[in-house]
Amino acid sequence: MKIGYARVSTDEQNLDLQRHALEAAGCAVVYEDRGISGATADRPGLAAALARLEPGDVLVVWKLDRLGRSLFRLIEFLDGLGKAGGVSPRCPRPSTPPRQAVGWSSTCWAPSRSSSGR
pLDDT in tens, 43-57: 899 999 988 888 778
Question: Quick one: pLDDT at residue 110?
Answer: 54
Q: What are phi and psi of 62, to 5 degrees?
A: -65, -45
Question: Quick one: pLDDT at residue 55?
Answer: 78
Residue type present at position 39: A
On the CB side of 81, how many CA atoms lie within 13 Å of its CA? 24
Catalytic residue among 9, 88, 105, 112: 9
Question: Quick one: pLDDT at residue 16?
Answer: 92
pLDDT (tens digit, 9 = 90+) per residue, 81-103? 766 665 555 544 445 444 333 33
Question: Quick one: pLDDT at residue 33?
Answer: 92
9 is catalytic: yes
Question: Quick one: pLDDT at residue 115?
Answer: 45
pLDDT (tens digit, 9 = 90+) per residue, 108-117? 555 554 444 4
pTM of the entire predicted model: 0.70
